[in-house]
Amino acid sequence: ADDCANDQGGGIAAGQSDAERAEISRGLLGSPAQMPPKYLYDTLGSKLFESLCLLPEYYPTRTEAAIFRAHRHDIARAAGPGAVLVDLGAGNCAKAESLFGVLAPRHYVAVDISADFLRDALDRLQSCHPDIRMTALGQDFSQGLHLPQEVPADNRLFFYPGSSLGNFGPDDAHRFLSGLRQSGGRQASLLLGVDLVKEPEVLNAAYDDALGLTAAFNLNLLRNLNRLLKADFDVRDWTHVAFFNEQKSRIEMHLQARRAVLVRWPGSSRRFAEGERIHTESSYKYTRASLAALLESAGWQPTDFWTDPAGWFAVVHART
């Protein structure tokens, strides 16, 4: 087990609880074993994710940024001036900040599970943009968004970039978007970045890169589970597997046992046969039609759809 707890803290570790340990244990004992992808993001996992966004194979980050650059004025026209910009999963707030110039929001609400990180980012941002009112919210909004009274109820623009919606399964994506619709108040709109279906070779390379960064990102989950659950995974017993499941229109990431292994943690254990897998993440890929259908079923009317020349990624604006 990893006894280096202080090196690897932050993120999920801060909220470590009996409920989380029970959730992890349930996931490991499932058939097949599976793990909520949030456990990929301890401190090292978040750094690995940031790094893999720079890979030539991982096109979503740079493609989305190019769409924002190319269509910033159209995006601003669709959103209208003076919005209350609610940034979901704001992180370092850089993506939203890149749109401040054209969006001119009157209030910026940054929401992220990591409140400390957010407060630092917002302090810096506030000094650069003193005219925009700012609120930081440390919340796991995937289970429902709670906006305090100080956030005006009109003209809210929810910003959810990075294809994070893709990490929800279809039912959860519908629930999430319907929930946003309900927290929207009057005249809400949505600016969403979503990854699109494309040739499987491109998708497979993006999630199984030559340098092995995505493999390290996936395998690091086991170190995090050792720390959170006091499990005794040996990372060397496992290998990264990622592929596009065309039928389900999703990339699947798994960890596959290289040999038969016994994994133990306080109160339980599980044997994995050679080749057996733990499903660690799904990343759903949409078409223009499937995305529109999802939005409409959740009470949103898509108004604009911007894409890159290759049609690999989309930024969508929708209204209530």
Footprint of ligand AVI (CB under 6 A): 52, 60, 162-164, 166-167, 207, 214, 281, 283
Least CB distance to ligand AVI at residue 46 (A)? 10
Smaller CB separation from ligand AVI, 105 or 166: 166
Q: Which residue is nearest to ligand AVI (CB)?
A: 283
CB of 245 to ligand AVI, least distance (A): 13
Per residue in 167-201, is it b (16+ CB within 10 Å) or e — as a string?
bbeeeebebbbebbbebbeeebbbbbbbbbbbeee
What would the two tokens of residue 18 be? 């009996």
Q: Compute how many other C-beta atoms are within 10 angstroms of the C-beta atom of residue 247.
A: 6
Nearer to ligand AVI, 105 or 162 (CB): 162
Which one, 60 or 105, has the nearer CB to ligand AVI?
60
Return the ∠ at Cα 140 (arms to 223 and 292), rounded to 5°: 105
Nearer to ligand AVI, 155 or 195 (CB): 195
Q: Which is nearer to ligand AVI, 281 or 308 (CB)?
A: 281
Q: Which of 48, 34, 43, 46 lies closest to 2 in space, CA to CA?
A: 43
Nearest CB to ligand AVI, comparing residues 168 and 265? 168
Shortest separation between residue 293's beta carbon and ligand AVI, angstroms: 21
Closer residue to ligand AVI (CB): 137 or 194 = 194
Least separation in angstroms between CB 155 and ligand AVI: 27
Q: Is the Cβ of residue 53 or residue 132 nearer to ligand AVI in the bound state? A: 53
- The count of other CB atoms within 10 Å of the CB of residue 7 is 10
106 by Cβ neighbours in 10 Å (0-12 / 13-18 / 19+) ranks as middle
In the complex, least distance from residue 164 CB atom to ligand AVI, rounded to whole angstroms: 5
Q: Provide, rounded to whole angstroms, the least separation between the CB of residue 310 and ligand AVI.
A: 17
Do residues 62 and 162 make contact, with C-beta atoms less than 8 angstroms apart? no
| Contact (Cβ atoms closer than 8 angstroms) between residue 16 and residue 230 | no
Question: What minimum distance in Å lies between the beta carbon of 3 and ligand AVI?
Answer: 28
CB of 315 to ligand AVI, least distance (A): 14
